[in-house]
Amino acid sequence: MRVNGIASPLPEDPRTLLSDHLRHQLRLTGTHVGCEHGVCGCCTVLLDGKPVRSCLLLAVQAADHDVTTIEGLAPDTAALHPIQQAFHEAHALQCGFCTPGFVLAVKGLLDEHPDPTDEQIQEGISGNLCRCTGYANIRKAVRLAAAAR
Partner 1 sequence: MADLKVVGQPLPKADAAAKVIGAAVYADDIVLPRMLHSKLLRSPHPHARILSVDASAARRIPGVKGVLTGQDLPIRFGILPVSQDERALESEKVRYVGDPVAAVAAVDEETAAAAAEAIRVEYEVLEPVLSIEDALRQPGDERIHASRSLPANLHRLQSYEFGDLAAGWARAAHVREDLFFFQGNTHLPMEQHSAVGQWVDGRLTVWSSTQVVHYVHRALSKVLELPMNKIRVIGAAHGGGFGGKTDPFAHEIVVAKLAMVTGRPVKCTLTREEVFYAHRGRHPVLMWVKTGVDEEGRITAMHFRSALDGGAYGSYGAASVFYTGTLQTVTYDIPAYKFEGCRVFTNKPPCGPKRGHGTPQPRFALELHLEKLAEEIGMDAVELKRRNFMQPFTRAVNWLRVTSCGLEECAEKVLAASGYRTRERRPGRGQGFAISAYMSGAGTAIYWNGMPHSEVQLKLDRTGVTAYCGAMDIGQGSDAVIAQIVAEELGIQAADVRLVTADTDSTPIDLGSYSSRVTFMAGNAALEAARKMRALLDAAVDARAGVPFLEACELAETKWGALSTAGSYTPPRIGGPFKGSGVGPSPAYSYSAAVVDVDADARTGIVRVNKVWIAHDIGRAINPLLVIGQIEGSVYMALGEALMEEQTFRRQLGLHKWPSMLEYKSPTFVDTPEIESFLVETVDPEGPYGAKEAGQGPLLPVIPALNLAVHDALGVWIDETPVTPEKVLKALKDGRVGPKMFPAVPWPEPIIVEPPARDDMRVGAELEAAFPSA
- Kindly identify the residues of this chain, within the stretch 50-79, that bind partner 1 according to CB under 8 A: 69-71, 73-74
If the CB atoms of residues 21 and 87 are measured against partner 1, the closer one turns out to be: 87
- Which amino acid is present at 121? I
Q: Which is nearer to partner 1, 64 or 72 (CB)?
A: 72
Dihedral (CA of 74, 142, 105, 39) sign:
positive
Number of Cβ within a 10 Å radius of residue 60: 15
> Between residues 64 and 90, which has the closer beta carbon with respect to partner 1?
90
Beta-sheet pairing, 66-68 with 2-3: parallel
Distances (CA, A) of 16 to 13, 20, 46, 56, 102: 6, 7, 18, 11, 24
Stretch that binds partner 1, among 46-54, 56-64, 106-114, 133-141 (CB under 8 A): 133-141
Beta bridge partners of 6: 3
Binding window for partner 1 (CB under 8 A); candidates: 46-54, 57-65, 90-98, 109-117? 90-98
Rounded to the nearest whole angstrom, what is the least distance from the CB of residue 115 to partner 1 in the complex?
19
Which is nearer to partner 1, 64 or 78 (by Cβ)?
78
Residue 29's alpha-carbon distances to 23, 63, 105, 116, in angstroms, are: 5, 20, 17, 30
Q: Can you give the binding site for partner 1, defined by CB under 8 A?
A: 23, 27-32, 34-37, 39-40, 42, 69-71, 73-74, 80, 84-85, 87-89, 91, 93-100, 103, 122, 125-139
